[in-house]
Amino acid sequence: MGTVGLRRVYERSPQGTYRILVDRVWPRGVSKEKAGVDLWLKDAGPSTELRKWFGHDPERFDEFARRYREELKDSEALQQLEDAIREHDTVELVYSAHDEEHNQAVVLRDVLGGRKGK
């Protein structure tokens, strides 16, 4: 796998970076052109039910991460994400959450790191 970073969808990435949006819902206030997303894997995002339960509450993050990892087990979207990362040297998982430490992209990066070589 190549290098995997994280970035808010509203921020630009260095040239040559393959950007994968991992939100289930398209980010508010950003056009597809401005987002500069190469791939939108909406099914890699948490379920609507889990996303609403979490509500970006940092106190719920550990439980959110546990439940989200459960959703990702044997996920076709996770396999698609791994395939896309394998095909590019530099990839960023992009997301729309304001909190840069408590969001699904953080969990995904950790899950992917734990699956290297699989």
pLDDT by residue for the chain (118 residues), tens digit each? 567 999 999 999 999 999 999 999 999 999 999 999 999 999 999 999 999 999 999 999 999 999 999 999 989 999 999 999 999 999 999 999 999 999 999 999 999 985 544 3
Q: Which domain does 30 fall in, by range?
A: 3-102
Q: What is the pLDDT of residue 74?
A: 82
Q: Please say whether the beta carbons of 90 and 4 come within 8 A.
A: no
In a domain, 46, yes or no: yes
Instruction: In whole angstroms, give the CA distance from residue 64 to residue 70.
Output: 10
In a domain, 110, yes or no: no
Q: What is the pLDDT of residue 115?
A: 52
Distances in Å between the alpha carbon of 66 and those of 63, 88, 102, 114? 5, 28, 13, 14
In a domain, 107, yes or no: no
In 3D space, the residue among 82, 47, 85 whose CA is nearest the CA of residue 68 turns out to be 47
CA 57, 92, 11, 24 dihedral sign is negative
Q: Give the number of domains in the chain.
A: 1
In a domain, 118, yes or no: no
Instruction: In whole angstroms, give the CA distance from residue 58 to residue 65.
Output: 11
In a domain, 86, yes or no: yes
In a domain, 83, yes or no: yes
Q: What is the pLDDT of residue 3?
A: 77
In a domain, 109, yes or no: no
In terms of pTM, does the model score above 0.85? yes
